Each structure stands twice: as C-alpha cells, then as structure tokens.
Amino acid sequence: KVKVKVEEGAPEDSEDREEEGEVEYTTRENETPRIIAAMLRVNLDRVLELNRSKYPQLVPCSRFRRGTKLLLPMSATESPKGKELLARKRLVKISKRGRKHRGGGGRG
C-alpha cells in the first residue's frame, strides 16, 4: 500500500476506502483529476491513488479523452454535482469486486 498525505477531514488510510466503496466516473474531453476532484468535492490524492494502477503516469493535470473510466471514492456521490451525475449515469456505483450495481434483483 502507498501512504499519501491526506487533507483534513479525509479518511486516514486506504482501509477506509475499501469499506466505503467506489464509483466509476466517465470523463469528458480534457477533464483533469484536479478538475474532477474539485467538482465532486473529493480528495485529489485519493483520486490519483485509486487510478494509478490503471494509469501509472497519472498526475493532477493529466488530461483525459472523452469516455475514460476513473474510479472515485463513494463520497463523490454526496455532492450536489455527484447526485446529478448519478442520475445521468456518468457516475456508477460499483461493488468491491469491480462489478457495477444495476439495481433490481438477483441472478435471475
């Protein structure tokens, strides 16, 4: 595990992230981790940490192509913009195993 400096009020270690869950965000053209973190009121270091395994060169000013999938902490859904993006399906809740929650029921 990589230890990162967290901002005041943010969970103190990555164990909190595992309990809290994650969401998948679909980017727009030229969005950056910094812009996304500010818009959804989440910790920028956590955004970078969640996505470094998939995007090793990721830095705060990295620009994304439209449709890039990012992992964000579940707390992203608590901001007004996060609630709006959930409704538009640009923000999707996922399970700890990485499978998307579609609602509805069991295996069928």
- The tens digit of pLDDT for each residue in 51-108 reads 999 999 999 999 999 999 999 999 999 999 999 999 999 999 986 654 454 444 444 4
- Whether residue 104 is contained in a domain is answered as no
- Whether residue 64 is contained in a domain is answered as yes
- Whether residue 102 is contained in a domain is answered as no
Q: Is the pLDDT confidence value at 7 over 50? A: no
Give the residue numbers spanning the domain of 57.
27-94
pTM for this one? 0.70
Higher pLDDT, 42 or 101: 42
- Burial code (b: 16+ CB inside 10 Å, e: under 16) for 48-86 equals bbbbeeeeeebeeeeebeeebebbbbbbbbeeeebeebe
- Whether residue 43 is contained in a domain is answered as yes
- Whether residue 49 is contained in a domain is answered as yes
- Whether residue 72 is contained in a domain is answered as yes
Split into its structural domains, the chain has a count of 1
- Whether residue 10 is contained in a domain is answered as no
Higher pLDDT, 7 or 44: 44
pLDDT of residue 101: 45
Both tokens of 78, joined, read 């608590």
